[in-house]
A and B are shown apart, each in its own frame.
Chain A
Amino acid sequence: MTSRGANHNRPLLEVRDLHVSVGSVEILKGLNLTVNLGEVHAVMGPNGSGKSTLTNALAGKPEYAVTEGKVLYRGKNLLEMLPEERAREGLFLAFQYPVELPGIRVREFLRTALDALREHRGLDKGSLREFNKLLQEKAKELGLDEELVKRSVNEGFSGGEKKRHEILQMAVLDPELALLDETDSGLDIDALKVVADAVNKFRKPDKAILLVTHYQRILNYVTPDFVHVLIDGRIVRSGGRDLALELEAKGYEWIRDAVESGREISV
């Protein structure tokens, strides 16, 4: 299997035997995954398989308790870091359900976030003019109304606007690892293409993307290097782009049956 621009000497994210519980329910039950710089990984799975648990646990959401296993980010223990430290180290989560922040305007919010990241990277605060220009440019690319940046974060946004706004943040904050949690769901085909364009633009040898999705539709536009199938808290099969197509043709039951009857599982 080939992967564009992959750098196998530099694993960005290493997940080893990860167990995660929410409340008293164990959702991830020993998940293994390695993401190198330059790679795009798609994690697919049916509802309730643990896709969002994976992204939330990686981002450090407090109620997702890691009970076993380890996660290294550029060789450092990710699980010891606060959510904001993970973000500053370059980890970005595009939320499946972005929350409303009344009274906090998009522009101020992103400016504050960018300042925090730049400070961490040892950079000066950029000028307000440059920031506004960048924001305007990226918003335009995503087909977002320029008035949107003056509105309160996610307040009164349509479903599509919320998803595009997540990608706008990714484009502006320029992280290293982007976790996209069902960013494609709820988008019509035009919006999907716009989002896919932005993701492809982000895709570079010094970045990596972990794309979590229920449908393979977005993979028609963002070609993954690897596809993983997540069922019941474990990755049960990994492959290339073809796996996604096969999955679409045959459904998740096919994989589940294959796993349960003990047939080959390639990891």
Chain B
Amino acid sequence: MVAPKVISRKATTSKDLEKEYKWGFVTPIEPDLAPKGLNEDIVRLISRKKNEPEWLLEWRLKAYRYWTSLKYGEPRWAKVSFPPIDYQDIYYYSSPFKEKRPESLDEVDPELVEAFRKLGIPLEEQKKLTGVAVDAVFDSVSVATTLQKTLEEHGIIFCSVSEAVEKCPELVRKYLGSVVPYTDNFFASLNSAVFSDGTFAYVPPGVRCPVELMTYFRINTEGSGQFERTLIIADKGSYVSYLEGCTAPMRKTHQLHAAVVELIALDDAEIKYSTLQNWYPGDKEGRGGVYNFVTKRGKAAGRNSKVSWTQVETGSAITWKYPSVILQGDNSVGEFYSVALVNNHQQADTGTKMIHLGKNTRSTIIAKGISAGQGSNTYRGLVKIMPSAANARNFTRCDSLLIGDKCAAHTVPYIEVRNPTARMEHEATTSKVSDDQLFYLRQRGITEEQAQYMIINGFCRGVFQELPFEFAMEASQLLKVSLEGAVG
């Protein structure tokens, strides 16, 4: 397969920004905004803006009513703290398009194309990234999806969810909410009511998707929330590798990002899902930054199916996410590879859930947490072996690396075994970058700063090697930028 070219992040010209968060620019676009606040009318308005069928509006309204019935608000069991969120002070719909969605890129505001170019995502067909089809989502709306022709030749559907509702309503209706129901949790309910856009992908039986599919998410408008919804279906015997990247401008106020991702792998199908999460983390004092409250879950529904999550989480003020796998089909496989980094005042509570239902199901969890500055990093993971899951196996490894003496790392594994044939392994370590390691590298002529990065990169190797090659290079760059000021 062609090595995909991914986001080059030499984006802005401002020297100041390069020292901190390089993707913090604001695009001067007058958005089509729905009024602030949330009520049934807003839900109806979003649905109308998108020309949705009646069943989808009904589903949204059910979700909204369920959400308003929840008495306790956000889940508070995670090891993160934040002041109460005023859900009436958020824009739930912000579109860069005044009128209807543009038919071709020529109709797209050049400012918008420029915004993505700055992020290293050219949308023009002639400049498109080789080997990657990109869906660019700006605030609430998908701007453009590249490489359509190549994908169509293989019968692959890759478009925004809004388009999918028009193109293949039966697929959307069948699978939307099938892995993450609107009753799942507070943020999933909210997302189900107001989700704006997101990515849809369907790979037909026996097709190995020839390119990487990628979505680039960008929050622009101040005070707007981003509630995208991603739905990926790999039909029997198919394979797809999907990447997502995300950035936001620097803002003094917090922005809410509450996405839902659902993956479905049928018999013998495989979905590989990679994330580079680089939302604005807030400044050094902890002002501003994105609240990243995300529900991601895959269902390895078919026999011999496989769902694999790889995430590199460096951004956001707070990260609350647990990409999980329901191992339903016999012999199905679930994987979770994660690097989560916190610096300054960032907080992360992230991990996974592996729910074993089928026979001979196997799951692997490799979680690497890096804590620097005054960051707080928690791995929280559940491995559940149900009575039906004979001969299930799980291997879990959680490593924490501490940089400095004001940060924190926590590991909270939950293991529930209800079948005696299960085999479980759990390993956990906590370490610091040792003086002896630094001296060894420096004695060979390597500067202290570079030595630190080499050690940190080495720590992440097991996860980075799961990423597509150029994404891995990108990830290690991202780590370096995110740690600026913490090492050296």
A152 interface neighbour in B444, B447, B458, Cβ under 8 Å? B458
Query: Is A98's CB under 8 angstroms from B440's CB?
Result: yes
Chain A, range 61-110, C-beta contacts under 8 Å to B: 61-63, 82-84, 86-88, 92-93, 95, 98-99, 101-104, 109-110
Interface membership of A37, Cβ < 8 A: no
Query: Is A87 within 8 A of B459, CB to CB?
Result: no
Task: Flag whether A219 is at the interface (Cβ < 8 A).
Answer: no
Please encode chain B, from 450 to 466, with 1 for each CB lying within 8 Å of some chain A CB and 0 for all others. Answer: 10001101111110000
Is the beta-carbon distance between B434 and A99 smaller than 8 angstroms? yes
Taking a contact as CB atoms under 8 Å apart, the answer to whether A99 and B436 are in contact is: yes
CB-based contact A112/B440 at 8 Å: no
B437's closest neighbor in chain A, by CB?
A99
Cα distance A117–B443 in the bound complex, in angstroms: 11
Tell me, yes or no, whether A113 is within 8 Å of chain B by CB: yes
CA distance A103 to B447 in the complex (A): 18
Chain B residue nearest in CB terms to A83: B442
> Which of A63, A84, A98, A104 contacts B454 (CB under 8 A)?
A104
A62-B435, A101-B437, A112-B450 given; A83·B443 CB < 8 A: yes
- What separation, in Å, do the CA atoms of A110 and B437 have in the docked complex? 15
Contacts of B441 in A (CB 8 A): 101, 109, 113
Tell me the complex Cα distance, A153–B459, Å. 13
Q: Is the CB–CB distance between B442 and A116 below 8 Å?
A: no
The answer, yes or no, to whether B424 is at the interface (CB within 8 Å) is no
Cross-interface CB contact of A87 among B443, B454, B462, cutoff 8 Å: B443
B412 contacts partner chain A, Cβ-Cβ < 8 Å: no
B448 interface contact, C-beta 8 A: yes
With contacts A61-B439, A104-B455 known, is A173 near B444, CB below 8 A?
A: yes
Q: Known contacts being A102-B458, A103-B459, is A117 close to B440, with CB within 8 Å?
A: no
By a CB distance below 8 angstroms, the chain B residues around A83 are: 439, 442-443
Give the one of B435, B437, B441, B455 with max A CB within 10 A. B441
Write out the residue numbers on chain A whose beta carbons fall within 8 Å of the beta carbon of B455.
101, 104
Q: Does A120 contact B (CB under 8 A)?
A: yes
Taking CB atoms, residues of chain B closer than 8 Å to A235 are none
Is A99 a contact partner of B440 (Cβ separation < 8 A)?
Answer: yes
Please report the C-alpha to C-alpha distance between residue A101 and residue B454 in the assembled complex, in whole angstroms.
9
Q: DSSP class of B's interface residues: helix, strand, loop or mixed?
A: helix
Q: Does B445 contact A (CB under 8 A)?
A: yes
Task: Choose among B436, B448, B450, B457 the residue that contacts A103 (Cβ–Cβ < 8 A).
Answer: B457
The yes or no answer to B446 lying at the interface (CB within 8 A) is: yes
Report the Cα distance A116→B442, complex, angstroms.
10
Chain A min CB distance to B182 (Å): 41
User: In whole angstroms, how far apart are the Cα atoms of A99 and B436 in the complex?
Assistant: 7
Residues of B within 8 A of A98 (CB): 440
What is the minimal beta-carbon distance from B369 to any residue of chain A, in angstroms?
Answer: 15
CB-defined contacts of B435 to chain A, threshold 8 Å: 62-63
B447 proximity list for chain A (CB < 8 A): 84, 116
- Taking CB atoms, residues of chain A closer than 8 Å to B462 are 103
With a cutoff of 8 Å between Cβ atoms, the chain A residues found around residue B445 in the complex are 84, 87-88, 113, 116-117, 120, 173
What residues of chain B lie closer than 8 Å to A192, measured between beta carbons?
none
Closest A-chain residue to B429, C-beta based?
Answer: A102
A173 to B445 CA separation, bound complex (whole angstroms): 10
In this assembly, does A213 line the interface, its C-beta being within 8 Å of a C-beta of chain B? no
Whether B442 pairs with A95 at a CB distance below 8 angstroms is no
Give the residue name and chain of the A residue nearest to B440 (CB): A99
Residues of A near B448 (CB, < 8 A) are 82, 84
Query: In the docked arrangement, what's the CA distance between A163 and B442, Å?
Result: 18
Q: Which residue of B lies closest to A87 (CB)?
A: B445
Are B446 and A84 within 8 A (Cβ)?
A: yes
Interface size on B, residues (CB 8 A): 23
> What chain A residues lie within 8 Å of B443 (beta carbons)?
59-60, 83-84, 86-87, 92-93, 95
B residues within 8 A CB of A113?
441, 444-446
The docked-state distance in angstroms from the alpha carbon of A92 to that of B442 is 11
Closest A residue, CB atoms, query B450: A112
Assembly CA distance A113 to B454 (angstroms): 11
* Interface pair A116/B440, CB less than 8 Å apart: no
Tell me which residues across on chain B come within 8 A of A53, comparing CB atoms.
Answer: none
**A88-B442 Cα distance, complex, nearest whole Å:** 10
- Complex alpha-carbon distance, A37 and B455, angstroms: 35
**A 121-172 contacts with B by CB, 8 A:** 152, 169
Cα separation A103 to B456 with both chains bound (whole Å): 9
Nearest-Cβ distance from residue B382 to partner chain A, whole angstroms: 27
Q: How far is the CB of A150 from chain B (nearest CB, A)?
A: 12
CA distance A47 to B479 in the complex (A): 44
Instruction: Please give, as numbers and ranges, the residues of chain A lying within 8 Å of B461 by CB-CB distance.
Output: 102-103
Docked CA distance A29–B458 (Å): 40
| A101:B446 contact, CB within 8 angstroms | no
Contact yes or no, A104 B446, CB < 8 A: no
Chain B residues with CB under 8 Å of A104's CB are 454-455, 457-458
A82 to B455, CA, bound (A): 19
How close is B276's CB to chain A, nearest CB, in angstroms?
19
Bound-state Cα–Cα, A173 to B448, Å = 19
- A255-B450 Cα distance, complex, nearest whole Å: 46
Query: Closest chain A residue to B448 by CB distance?
Result: A84
- The smallest C-beta distance from B253 to any residue of chain A, in angstroms, reads 38
Docked complex Cα distance between A120 and B445 (Å): 9
- Give 1 or 0 for each of B159-176: 1 = CB within 8 Å of chain A CB: 000000000000000000
Which chain A residues border B444 with CB–CB below 8 Å?
87, 109-110, 113, 116, 169, 173
Residues of chain A within 8 A of B439, CB atoms compared: 59, 61-62, 83
CB-based contact B437/A116 at 8 Å: no
Shortest distance from the beta carbon of B454 to any chain A beta carbon, whole Å = 6
CB contacts under 8 Å to A, within B408-444, are 434-437, 439-444
Contacts of A87 in B (CB 8 A): 442-445
Pairwise interchain contact B458-A95, C-beta atoms closer than 8 A: no
B450 neighbours in A (Cβ, 8 Å):
112, 116
Which B residue's beta carbon lies closest to that of A116?
Answer: B445
Give the interface centre of A87, A98, A169 by most chain B CB atoms within 10 Å. A87
With both beta carbons as reference points, the residue of chain A lying nearest to B368 in the complex is identified as A103
Contact B436 A116 (CB under 8 A): no
User: Measured between alpha carbons, how far is A108 from B267 in the docked complex, in Å?
Assistant: 40
Q: How far is the CA of A74 from the CA of B290 in the complex (A)?
A: 55
Selected contact of B458 from candidates A62, A92, A103, A120, CB within 8 Å: A103
Question: In the complex, which residues of chain A have a beta carbon less than 8 angstroms from the beta carbon of B446?
Answer: 84, 112-113, 116
In the complex, which of the residues A84, A86, A92, A93 has the most CB atoms of chain B within 10 Å of its own CB atom?
Answer: A84
21 contacts between A and B (CB under 8 A): A59-B439, A62-B439, A84-B442, A84-B445, A84-B446, A84-B447, A87-B443, A93-B443, A99-B440, A102-B458, A103-B457, A103-B458, A103-B459, A103-B460, A103-B461, A104-B457, A104-B458, A109-B441, A112-B450, A113-B446, A173-B444
Known: A83-B442, A104-B457. 7 other contacts (CB 8 A): A62-B435, A95-B440, A95-B443, A98-B440, A99-B440, A112-B454, A117-B445
Give the 5 A-B CB pairs with smallest separation, nearest first.
A103-B458, A103-B461, A113-B444, A87-B445, A104-B458
